[in-house]
Structure 1
Amino acid sequence: MERPASVICLLAIAIGVSVRDARTRIIDNASCIFITVIGLAFQSLRALHPEAVLSVPGWGRFAERLNTPAFCILFSMLFLTCAVAIEFLYRRFTQQAGFGLGDVKYASAWAPLLGEWILPALCIALLAGALVAWLRHQETFAAGPWLSVGFYSALLALMFAP
């Protein structure tokens, strides 16, 4: 089965983010920007030349399962706004960091590509990470690796599931 270069690129970025966040608890801006650019380019191509997207193996099926390109982009902006607001409110009332703004940026970077599918992927990723942290008796955990697995799994499921 043919894999477009962009899918391999996203995997490489997801692995890089996972390793760095697991070691340092930092998610770099460059990775977030690159993923955002891929998502926005994909949605722009869907809007301007849908037939081109539908002809690419994997991406065609993925595109058919998403809402409209405009919805995906608007949803990603709403997602970013809500995620930042929730993080700032949490910090204000508890006087401590919650999710972390690097994690918020990373999740928001995937939103233009995944559209509304970002929400179930985010929930599954964070629940899995929290469960493993709880089983290991950890008070905190690096969310980046779990987010990478959740978002990339959602991408592959939407591309290749029957």
Structure 2
Amino acid sequence: MVMSQLPSDLNRQLQADAGLSFQDFDVLVHLRESKGNRLRIGELAEALGWERSRTSHHVARMGARGLVCRERVDGDGRGAWVIATDRGLTEQEAAAAAHVELVRRLLFTDMPEEQIHELGDTLAVITRNLGFTPREMWHVESNDENDKAQEDESGKQ
């Protein structure tokens, strides 16, 4: 429930207060935190944990609204920078205070101090694991007989 409801609540607040989606805000935060407020499209996709095509489409929509622009990378005919515009940075900054306040209220209201520290420790462990899970760890149990049968099947094709 938390995995779906939290982003939904954050998105609704950002839309209502600033006209930004949660994804717009995330893109602008990553650009703001980068040198020159710019990242290559692949770097941005990696930072967001998105597919490159999703990132490219989202950036195009943001560009149409004047929040970001694209600029060719010198010496790389296919490469492009995604750059936060002054408008995008202004809108992200204006939305930040209310966004942070909502995050604090949703996550920490009525939570005792010791639970906040425990949550921090737990999230640190989860964060270390996210994005670094090798394919063989996607399935909790590995059955050698099933693995061998799958190898035999793939060899027949």
Whether TM-score is above 0.5 comes out as no
Q: Which has the bigger relative contact order, CA under 8 A and spacing at least 6?
A: 1
Q: How does the TM-score come out when normalised to structure 1?
A: 0.25
Kindly indicate which of the two structures has a greater share of residues assigned to strand: 2
Kindly indicate which of the two structures has a greater share of residues assigned to helix: 1
Q: How does the TM-score come out when normalised to structure 2?
A: 0.25
